[in-house]
Amino acid sequence: MSLCSLTSVVLALSSCGVIGTVPLEASVFQEGAPRAQSHCGKSPRPAIVAPKPDAGAQAPPTQGTQDNSPCPVADPNADSDALGRAGQPHPPISLRNDLVDVLAPTGKLKLAEENEISLRIHEKGLVRVSTWQNQIDGRNEVVPENLRGSEMAAPIIYKPDGSAAIRVTPLRLGKLQLSVSGIFPDGAVFRRAVTIEVGVPSILPRSLLVYQGGNPFGQAMIRLYLHEQPGRAWMQVRAFYDTVKDPIIIDPTALLFNIRTNDTTPALRLDEATGLLTPLHVGHALIESGFGQHMALTCIVVEEKFDLGSANHDQSRCEELLHSGEQLTLPR
């Protein structure tokens, strides 16, 4: 782990309440710095030493899953009770990734629900950790930007049989990297990461919205034009759950689609893998988007061209395609 990474972990742990504000003395990160002294009767731990810069040389790539995670951004509103209360001296910081193992789950976790992640902790004193999530893309690479809302402090759950765990709420379907970092009372810091698979939850979303990318929520309408360039549009999907603050992005591949139309052929073509809509002829279509047991209804209107000054726009909301008692899906 680089000096930047360790510093980021410590600052994040401090801001999310896992530890108090930790002044990082320069001597801790200088070559030849003294070894950190034990504060619990155990053997001393080595302090972190930053390598001397080599002019013109590039830093070697880091090794190990704990080093591939983007730097955490922690929740500033979390409470604190672990280390570094006001007026008390802080122990020197040392890197000890060997003190905690994060065990990879054997099955899929559930989206937007609390899931238990087992830990193997090799020393006493750890009471909470900081966690954050990053998406893993189709090239199996970790997306650097942390998922919005995923940074949080998680208390350690110690069980009667001596095992330990934390609870985590995944915020995307598919493959994610879950990162966990924390600090022990004697200043030992760890940062580990594990890959998790996330599937459809057992709970229903409060609302499922399908809308045109770049447009605001709440219209349940997508308009396409035959003579506009590029003339196509991408559907965006968001699921709203009571268990999480922000809407969750749903990849179109997780949905089941059906197109209702009164025409001989649909007025558009839908690429179910990407959500791309391509207009084919003037007309209306109602798209059913199924996610688990929830279905959203979105009206697609295809017109010849967009004319801002025209009063002859098609004002339809696909009323003729709605079954009795149905309505277009709006946020709630």
- pLDDT tens track for 34-66: 433 433 334 444 443 444 444 444 444 434 444
DSSP designation for 6? H
Domain's final residue, options 183, 199, 215 = 199
Q: Do residues 272 and 184 lie in contact, with contact meaning Cβ atoms separated by under 8 Å?
A: no
Q: Is residue 247 situated within a structural domain?
A: yes
**DSSP secondary structure string, 15-36?**
HTTSS------GGGGSTTPPPB
Q: Please tell me the distance from the alpha carbon of residue 134 to that of residue 72, in angstroms, as a whole number.
A: 10
For position 307, what pLDDT does the model report?
73
Q: Are residues 170 and 214 in the same domain?
A: no
Tell me: do 194 and 243 sit in the same domain: no
- pLDDT value, residue 293: 84
230 and 193 in a common domain: no
214 and 133 part of one domain: no
Residue 230: CATH number of its domain? 2.60.40.10
Q: What total of structural domains would you count in the chain?
A: 2
Q: Largest alpha-carbon pair distance within the chain?
A: 83
- Indicate if 141 and 225 belong to the same structural domain: no
Report the DSSP pairing between strands 256-260 and 283-291: antiparallel
324 assigned to some structural domain? no
Bond prior to 46 in cis (omega within 30° of 0): no
What residue ranges in 127-272 does DSSP mark as E strands?
Answer: 128-135, 152-155, 157-158, 164-168, 174-183, 188-199, 207-212, 221-225, 233-240, 248-249, 256-260, 268-271
Residue 139 belongs to some domain of the structure: yes
Has residue 58 been placed in a domain?
no
Would you say the pTM of this structure is higher than 0.75? no
pLDDT digits (tens, 9 = 90+) for 170-227: 999 999 999 999 999 999 999 999 999 999 999 999 888 888 876 655 578 898 999 8
pLDDT under 50 in the chain at which residues? 15, 20-67, 69, 71-84
Question: Which pLDDT belongs to residue 305?
Answer: 86
57 contact partners, CB below 8 Å, separation of at least 6: none
CB 55 within 8 A of CB 43: no
CB atoms inside a 10 Å sphere around CB 301: 22
Closest of 118, 145, 134 to residue 175, by C-alpha: 134
What range defines the domain where residue 120 resides? 3-51+64-199
Separation of alpha carbons 198 and 9, rounded Å: 25
Domain boundary among 199, 218, 246: 199
Residues 87 and 185 in one domain: yes
Residue 35: the pLDDT is 36
